[in-house]
């Protein structure tokens, strides 16, 4: 079995749902196979990635350690595999579902701020409260 390469995810930290997903994945990143870069930060370098900020806002992008760029639902499948979420990775890798999942994500990306106003704060609160509960349990 080939070891998994590290994958960097480019995300929009101004979106509460996006932040919740990144927080969730970062907690599951025990093997250190995921890295996260906010496309609104100085850490995001469009020239070296090959994706403008506008493109990154319109679709999900990830980049493997070897420089290969991936986008769309393939990013979620790869990220979930690295976060040891095998069922989600498998669902997002199904070729039959990819057109539906890609169209759904494009819709979400275009409307993420409006959608996030409705359910983003709750999702972010749930993810952050789980992190706090784990921290308290460890003390």
User: Which pTM does this prediction carry?
Assistant: 0.83
Q: Can you give the pLDDT at residue 86?
A: 95
Q: Which ranges of 5-97 does DSSP label H, i.e. alpha helix? A: 16-27, 46-49, 53-58, 73-82, 86-93
Distances from the Cα of 17 to the Cαs of 10, 23, 48, 117, in angstroms? 14, 10, 26, 9
Which parts of the chain have pLDDT scores under 70? Answer: 1-2, 130-139
pLDDT at 133: 54
Q: What pLDDT is attached to residue 1?
A: 61
pLDDT of residue 35: 97
């Amino acid at each position: 079995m080939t070891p998994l390469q590290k994958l960097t995810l480019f995300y929009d930290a101004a979106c509460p749902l996006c932040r919740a997903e990144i927080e969730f994945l970062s907690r599951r990143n025990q093997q250190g196979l995921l890295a996260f870069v906010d496309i609104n930060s100085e850490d995001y370098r469009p020239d070296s990635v090959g994706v403008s900020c506008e493109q990154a806002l319109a679709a999900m992008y990830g980049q493997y350690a070897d420089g290969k760029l991936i986008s769309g639902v393939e990013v979620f499948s790869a990220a979930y595999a690295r976060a040891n979420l095998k069922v989600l990775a498998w669902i997002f890798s199904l070729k039959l579902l990819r057109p539906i999942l890609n169209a759904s994500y494009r819709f979400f990306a275009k409307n993420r701020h409006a959608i996030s106003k409705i359910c983003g704060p709750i999702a972010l609160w749930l993810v952050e409260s789980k992190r706090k509960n784990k921290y308290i349990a460890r003390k």
